[in-house]
Amino acid sequence: MKKILYLLFHYPQTTETYIKTEIEAVRDRYELRIVANGMASDPYTNHFPFILAPDNLNQLAEVIREFKPDVLHSHWFMSNVGLLSRITGVPFTLRSHSFDTSWRGAMPGYFASMIPDVNSDRCLGVLAFPHIHQKLIGHGIRAEKLVASYPVVDIPRFHNREPNGRAVMTIGAFVPKKQMEDALRIAKWMTDHPGTVPREFNLWVLEYGVEALWKLNEEMGRPAHPQPRAEPEEMPAIYKRHEWLLFTANRELNSVGWPLCIAEAQASGVGVLLPDLRPDLHQYAGPSGYFYNTLEEAAEILAGPYPEEKRLAAFDYCQQWDFQRHVNQLTDLWDRA
């Protein structure tokens, strides 16, 4: 059984359940050790054992030498996995995401510093969304290092064809690129607009500074209902209480990727509505997805029902994103090490 050492910034973070899903999918095939540089700011309860090691290269290198892994694995281009691979000689794999590859303007320092390590023989491969490959290649990553990969989603956990509730939900981290204030504005519009039947709006929002969002909600007359944090295992039941998932985003930043909640909602029978930002989002949400360009347009869509024919089609469409169907994209790299 090969040994894989996970190098993570923080663990176990509630907003990073893709790491949880990935580990659950490979834990029986490999001997794993998880090393986190820091504690999660919002940890979930049901996590795997891990070692907490500060971001000290000497200490981390010693942990690697003691475990003697066949491969180092990490997430995000700002990881120190390339540098630690250089120090220890252990090959590595990397899974990129949206926020570490969707910058605009000048190339960030973390990406530039990773290019030599990614292009070296020590890098077994970088898993990245297909639509981002040309950008990474244009900034210096060798094409043969890239593996076209999809979001790490546990579709069977959420797949449920039973009837759904009628409420609208918004979920995610309170960060500028997601512009969650728009969820309040849309809920307010539906409440105030004559002839529009208002819906219950429930918000699960994480990360720092969320108090500002709740203050705005109070000032607007509480059009939305703040919800208590939930463990990952509670989310399937939460999705089933809703008819629509509203995903908001900042159009100027245009840096949201392929959020897990889109596929999770579709597997749960929930309609998804998101801003019409890029063609790749249409590919991800598929023909059952809904898109808006104005807040008023979003409110009008949410006021209506999620058509049953689209709901049924979404159950099948989202199956292609199930991580079990493409976990071999990662494990084939490890097995060739």
69 and 218 fall within a common domain: no
Please, what is the Cα angle at 221 between 220 and 223, to 5 degrees? 85
Tell whether 121 and 248 lie within a shared domain.
no
303-323, pLDDT tens digit by residue? 999 999 999 999 999 999 999
pLDDT averaged over every residue in the chain? 95
User: Is 242 found in the same domain as 194?
Assistant: yes
Do 302 and 202 fall within a single domain?
A: yes
Q: How far apart are CA 182 and CA 86, in angstroms?
A: 45
Residues 261-280, mean pLDDT to the nearest whole number = 97
Q: Cα–Cα distances in Å, from 48 out to 3, 7, 21, 64, 69?
A: 16, 14, 11, 18, 18
What residues form DSSP beta bridges with 140? Answer: none
Residues 55 and 133 in one domain: yes
Q: Are residues 248 and 102 in the same domain?
A: no
> Same domain, yes or no, for 142 and 192?
no
Which residue, among 231, 202, 239, 203, has the nearest Cα to 315 in the 3D structure?
Answer: 239
Dihedral over Cα of 132, 245, 174, 81: its sign: negative
How confident is the model over 112-141, as pLDDT tens digits? 999 999 999 999 999 999 999 999 999 999
Same-domain pairing of 190 and 125 = no
* Shared domain check, 296 and 202: yes
Number of independent structural domains in the chain: 2
Give pLDDT, residue 194: 66
Amino acid sitting at position 209: G
Asked if 177 and 255 sit in the same domain, the reply is yes
CATH number, domain at 294? 3.40.50.2000
Which of 4-13, 40-49, 194-203, 283-292 has the least mean pLDDT? Answer: 194-203
* pLDDT tens-digit map of 51-62: 999 878 999 999
Q: What is the pLDDT of residue 64?
A: 97
Q: Which of 175, 167, 177, 251 is nearest to 203 (CA)?
A: 167
The residue range of the domain holding 146 is 3-154+323-335
pLDDT of amino acid 250: 94
pLDDT at 195: 67
Q: Which of 43-52, 53-62, 277-286 is predicted with the least confidence, judged by mean pLDDT?
A: 53-62
What per-residue confidence (pLDDT) applies to 144?
98
Q: Are 45 and 231 in contact (CB under 8 A)?
A: yes
Q: What is the pLDDT of residues 168-188, one digit of tens each?
A: 999 998 999 999 999 999 999
Residues 49 and 117 in one domain: yes
Res 206: pLDDT: 83
Same domain, 38 and 86: yes
pTM above 0.85, yes or no: yes
